[in-house]
Structure 1
Amino acid sequence: MADTSLAEQRIIRDRVSCWESKNDSKAPLTSDQRDVIHEISVIATHRRFPTDLPEEDGPSITPLRGTQLDKISGEHTSLDSFMTDTKLPEGNKIENAQQFFSWFAELEESLDQEDHGLYRQYTEGLGQYRQQCSSVLEEVSSTLEYLRQLQEQYVHVSTKTNALHDECEHLLAEQTRLMDLAENISNKLSYFNELDSISTKLNRHTLSVTSETFIPLLSRMDECILYLKSNPRYKECEVYLARFRQCLSRALNLIKGHINNILVTATQNVQPKKEDIPNMTDNAFTLFYGKFRTNAPRVKALTEQLEIRTEKDNEYQNALTDCHNLYFSQREILLGPSISTTISDLASKHVRDHCALMRSGCAFMVHVCEDEYQLFFNFFAKPTPLLEGITENKSERCTRFTLFDSATELAAFESVCHQMLMDVQERLVYRTYIYIRSDILEYRAAAGDLAYPEKLEMMEKTTFQGLSQEALQACIVSLKNAKDGIIKRKQSTLDGELFLIKHLLILREQIAPFQADFSIRETHLDFSRFKDLAGLKDGNLGLHSIGTPQVTELFVDSKRDVDQQLKITCEDFIHHVTDIFTSPLQSFMSRANIVINMQKDQDVSAATKKNITLRSQPFAVPEKLHDVAAETYRLMKTKLPQSSLFLVVVVVGVEVGLAVAVALAASLAAVVKLVVVVVVVVVVVVVVITVMVIIKVVLQVVVTVVVVIAAAATAEVQRSMSLYLANRDTESILFRPVKSNVQAQFGKLLELLEAEYSEEDRLIVACPSQEQVNLLLSATPRKAEK
């Protein structure tokens, strides 16, 4: 304990010594505080007089000697009281030195105690504080221990809570998964459970196909069948699928039975009696079509549902086919006797005139087919595929007849074809004569048509010139807008430019006969110098200095504008066609010129120029340049016509008689189209087959010629020019600059090959010579036709 107190005192002294340290003072004092401390220290050096001594005694006590003590002991002084008050030895006498020393030690001790009492009290108070602080520290330590335990408990509880939370989340997720699984299973089972419900509804005698619940029932069956088809791995899936198909077949049988009842009833209601058939010409259309059409809405409501679902299942397609057969069978029952009677009447009426028989039969057939076509789409929304079978069958039979290639085999059809050709020519000549007589010879001119010379004097020349100038300007703007619309619609600049060239040429030709002056003088006043007049401080001075407005005269010549616009459009067309022919070559030449210009640049060093060569560039190696030349040459061959194909056309035309074949094909095209439309009139089809065979043989030569001509029409640019311009001289004039540009591009390429490439590289490139390019470009349509 003593060592501990000494150590603590040493620590206290060290800390106290740091209070006024010069380097790191813990409690620095001001000068006033230092003066007060000095005064207190001076006062503290003087020992305070003991409180138990009387104040009237002298200020000090002289040391007692043995003689003085004897003298004083006999006197009655205040010292006696002092001696009395103090604890003297027994008898209040000091008899020897030992007693004196003991008494003096006690006295000194009491004085010390009195002198240091305050300090002791302070020390005791500090001790108490220390004990309190110790107790507080102990409480704090216990509190910290409690907090540590509380923290451990909190961590434990938190861990438990988190684990519980995670477990709850896991259970919720598992619950959600199980609920989703249960719902998924329930949704999947719903398709299987629908079987009993659907079967029950179909077994009801009160179920009607026209009720509101029947169509949703079909939709639900379609969903179930589609689901079972897409999930064949489910247990008993095939069994349920078969049962659903049975239910679907039962529902479709109800639909077919309902439609059959409607059609049979309608046929029985409108079918005439046998004795009334010869006299029913007037009301035949009303009976066969008007009354029969009244039942269409009830049938079409069901057939539309079948047509919508034909792609879902073959059962619907089969049911729709059965409905078509039911419809056609009833129409055959209804129309068969009437058509047979009509054909017999036509045959007896035109016994010797086969052409008249053909015309009358075709006319009758067209009316019947049109009426049946309209009636069919009153009952059904989509066309029937039965026509495809009839067409294929008749096409196959016609193909068999075309196998007769020899003259002997075709001799049987010569007279018939010749008679038909003569009939067509006769009709064409007759219609031409009728037109000449009615619209030319017997034309009755109105009063306005004969208003001459008033028409020629309707307005003054200056007024006409002003209007014509505005009309020409409007026409040019309208044509340019139309050109932009064609380019936007067709995505073809070539068509737009040719359209504008064609109509500008037409416009120039139209205004040539008028011989009018299309130029006008327009006068304008230029007020541009008056803009800054308001900013001048002296308005009068500014007005005088500026003067009068400047007069500007402009001459506007619309005819010259037409020529200028035509020139610009032709130049654009020439550049565009040149780009079409030589776009790969132009792209290569532009890149090659960049490399050549770098070689000629004075700022580039000699070493760099030596490394920069055209042949070393990746895009200019001989193999790549060969591809560029071949692609350009291919484009030219594709876009330009080949004269050999035109020669083939001419040869074939001479051999087969192109003019006769084309005329015959034009006259019989309408008949062929009408024959293909036949659907239900079986008896008339037999007559048409013969006609189709005849036409097929005659048109075989025409087809051959057309195929050859189509093969020759691969020249896109020349075809477009011929289609729009229709003038060989204009085409030749317009194509001549294109030819020059293409030749110039190939000439530049040949010069580049001579300058930059070796003989071996030129062989690899295989660039066409100028003669080859000229020969290819010279195959114009005019030369081809010759």
Structure 2
Amino acid sequence: MATTALPKSGAVSKGYNFASTWAQNSPLTDQQEAAILALSNAVSERPLPPNLEQILGKEGNPSVSPDESSLDEAGAMDAVLVNTHQFFKWYAELESAMKSETEEKYRLYEDKLTERIMICDQILQQVDDTLSLISELQSLHQSVATKTKTLHNACDQLLVEKQRLIEFADALRSRLNYFDELENVSTSFYAPNMNIGNEQFLPLLKRLDDCISYVESNPQYAESSVYLVKFRQLQSRALGIIRSHVLSVLKGASSQVQAAIKASAAGKAVASEGVEESIIYVRFKAAASELKPILGEIESRAARKEYAQILSECHKLYCEQRLYLIKGIVQQRVSEYAKKEPLPSLTRSGCAYLMQVCQFEHQLFDHFFPSSSKDVSSLAPLMDPLSTYLYDTLRPRLIHEANLDALCELVDILKVEVLGEQLSRRGELVAGLRSTLQRILADIHERLAFCARTHIREEIANYRPSDNDLDYPKRLERTVETASTPNEDNSDIYETWFRPLEKTVSCLSKLYHCLEPAVFTGLAQHLVYSCISVLLKQNASKAIAKKSGQMDGQLFLIKHLLILREQIAPFDMEFSVTYKELDFSHLLEHLRRILRGQVSLFDWSRSTSLARTFSPRILESQIDAKKELEKSLKTTCEEFIMAITKLVVDPMLSFVTKVTAVRSALSSANQGQKSDSVLAKPLKSQAFASPDKVAEVVQKVRDAIEQELPKVMAKMKLYLQNPSTRMILFKPIKTNIVEAHVQLQKLLNSEYSAEEIQSMGIISIQNLQSQLDSLL
């Protein structure tokens, strides 16, 4: 191998020499050479040993000492190895030398590390000592912090206790202040200069109210009842001062207004309306305006009973002064209306004037008592006496008024105009008059009901018809003639009515909107029942029947009953009334039994006790005028139908009746015989049933249909103008006539031959129906 320029140590030189010799004597394979080359490259970068560094020269060459030279020489000499043992020995020495060279730096490094470890141990010991001191310091700090926190908590507790004691002292002082105020308030209220005008009056009153409220709500405090009595005495004194002040101011205002009225009247009894309004209301408001603040304070405290009472007294004082001021004016004005105007105009004008006064008074009252003006009862001490003047003026004239029309007009004025329109339009301003107006209306209702009953009794129930009233059918005929006359006014629908019916319908229409439903129901039932009684029970129809014929009497009754039913139909009400009356009829028998000793008068356990014996029984009876009307109409119509039927087909019905009687007698005779050998004679062999006699019967009926029935229809047209009514009434008559012919034809078909039937001249049923229909 080629040598390198680097210096080598002695051991290396010896190794190199030995290796060269060994390579020459023992050649290596290529693989071995490659391995050696790799090792050489690996160790070529190793640092020089320390001993070698010391012998290096200045030029970069090592300075070789004599000892090393001798070693090199000796190594060179000893480089020749004879056997393996020598090699291993040499290798061991070489390895030991190399270890010695390579481990030196590590020993030095170990020494340094050991020195450093010792230093670190010393530092750790110092750190442990420091940490021990820090731990001791922390323990001391924790102890100090605990003591400090305990001190802080104690201070906080002391502060809380102090604050609690302060609050308790303040609360105690605030409670004691209410009791301490007694002396202060008492001294102030009893001061010589204390009055409502003093600026301290209202605050002291407010403080007094607070003290009373507090003492009332805490009765458990010592001597609270004593303090409450004293506080109330002071409050009563203060409220008495207020009442005296209000009365004084109101009287002063009234005096000023009266003086102004006298001055403006200039010798007249009453000033003009405009001047009167200006003085009585405007000047009074200006004169009494100083009361508004104190009255407002009283109203704001009206929730307390003491102030509610003084407020009520102030209302009364105000109303008394206002009444004293204006009562003469109102009374004189109503009296002037009463002298100049009739009752309806007096009612209308008086109510209008009273509403105007009430409106002005309410506005003035609202100026002084804004919170109390919504309660209409507050003005009652003023408005009730004023409205009584009108009531006292109207009532005597109402009592003497007997005209139903006038009374109905009064009801309309009060109910529609006054209560319905004016009172609703003005609202709460005149609500105080509602009770008086309703009282007047109730009196009118009472008078109207009384006059209505009198009218029913005198004009309807006890009506005495004249000859002209019962002049039927001539009254109807005159009406027909008048209607056929050109340019003749026929607007009076009552012309053909019976007078009681006309008065009944007129009275119903007048009372319907004027009376309460319960009152009107009783009067309406009485009206209708009285009208029916006049038509039926007082012989109006019988008188007409006697004078003009049975048919006229029946048609007269049917006509008026139909009119009455038609006229009462629009009234939405029941025409039934239940009457209750006391029945003492059983008392006589009970007294007889007691006198006989059969029962004891004092036996309270039995049903015949004294209380039960002398207790009357209540009997109830219900009268329905509408049902009575329907019943009477139905009965009259049935009577008329049967009368007309008998008028037309009576011969035919008599013949059928005789035939039925004969057949019944023959049937009884045949049943009494023991054999059927004896046969009855045929019907046509009877004297009354001969073909000629039957032909006479048929002819009489035909003559009645052709002659009498048209007269009947003419009468019906005269009395009953409605074709539908006539058709309804004529329908059962037609049915009866047709039925009589049918019965006769069945009888003839069974007893007579076809030639005999044809000779009788009986009309066919179809032709008969056509003939009857043509009469309508």
TM-score range, shorter chain: 0.3 to 0.5
Length-normalised TM-score, structure 1: 0.37
Question: Which of 1 and 2 has higher RCO (CA within 8 Å, sep 6+)?
Answer: 1
